């Protein structure tokens, strides 16, 4: 559905939403450990999210990553867009390039319904919302 990279990215931002602030930055080591993702790979993802202003980073001692209040309201769609792009949400279920309303593949209508619901779900789900669903004690580790 979405890539492993996007899953890591979402886990990371949700963890940041729940535990960081502009005055409390978290470093990659801790984030990666808490979401059970490879550290160096998580670093790459966070760098990319930072470049695309989904998270904020600060170098140096006491540096790390955090989410601004605005960034808390970013949608999961924006996160996935940075990592995977939006193709999943817009392209043909059978991999046909010409598929469209006018020239639909045999699965077009049913598949489009799925895609659209997926798109709307990711669009309507903010990082803040997910962090709110993280009931105390819950973890984001794969294990």
Partner DNA sequence: TTTATTTCGGATAAAAATGTCTTAAATAAG
Partner DNA sequence: CTTATTTAAGACATTTTTATCCGAAATAAA
- Binding interface with its own copies (CB under 8 A): 1-2, 4, 7-8, 10-11, 14, 76, 88, 93-98, 103, 105-107, 110-111, 113-115, 117-118, 121, 125, 130-134, 138, 140-143
Binding site for DNA (CB under 7 A): 3-5, 8, 25-29, 37-41, 43-44, 46-47, 50-51, 57-65
DSSP line for the chain: ---HHHHHHHHHHHHHHHH-BTTB-B-HHHHHHHHT--HHHHHHHHHHHHHTTSSEEE-STT-EEE--HHHHT-BHHHHHHHHH-SHHHHS-TT--SS-SSSS--TTHHHHHHHHHHHHHHHHH-BHHHHHHH--TT------
Instruction: Considering the complex, state which of residue 28 and residue 140 has its C-beta at the smaller distance from its own copies.
Output: 140
The angle at the Cα of 59, spanning 53 to 65, to the nearest 5 degrees, equals 45
Q: Which does 64 bind (CB under 5 to 8 A by kind): its own copies, DNA, none?
A: DNA
**Quick one: 69 or 87, whose CB is closer to its own copies?**
87
Q: Measured from the CB of residue 58, what is the shortest distance to its own copies in angstroms?
A: 26
In the complex, what is the shortest distance from the CB of residue 26 to DNA, in angstroms, rounded to a whole number? 7
Which one of its own copies, DNA, none interacts with residue 106, CB within 5 to 8 A by kind? Answer: its own copies
């Amino acid at each position: 559905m979405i890539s492993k990279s996007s899953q890591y990215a979402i886990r990371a931002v949700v963890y940041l939403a729940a535990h960081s602030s502009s005055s409390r930055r978290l470093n990659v080591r801790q984030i990666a450990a808490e979401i059970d993702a490879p550290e160096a790979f998580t670093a790459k993802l966070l760098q990319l999210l930072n470049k695309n202003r989904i998270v904020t980073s600060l170098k140096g001692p006491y540096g790390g990553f955090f989410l601004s209040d605005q960034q808390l309201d970013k949608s999961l769609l924006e996160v996935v867009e940075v990592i995977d792009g939006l193709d999943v949400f817009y392209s043909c279920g059978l991999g046909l390039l010409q598929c469209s309303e006018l020239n639909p593949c045999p699965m077009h209508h049913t598949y489009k319904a799925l895609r659209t619901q997926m798109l709307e779900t990711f669009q309507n789900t903010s990082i803040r919302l997910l962090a709110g669903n993280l009931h105390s004690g819950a973890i984001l580790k794969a294990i």
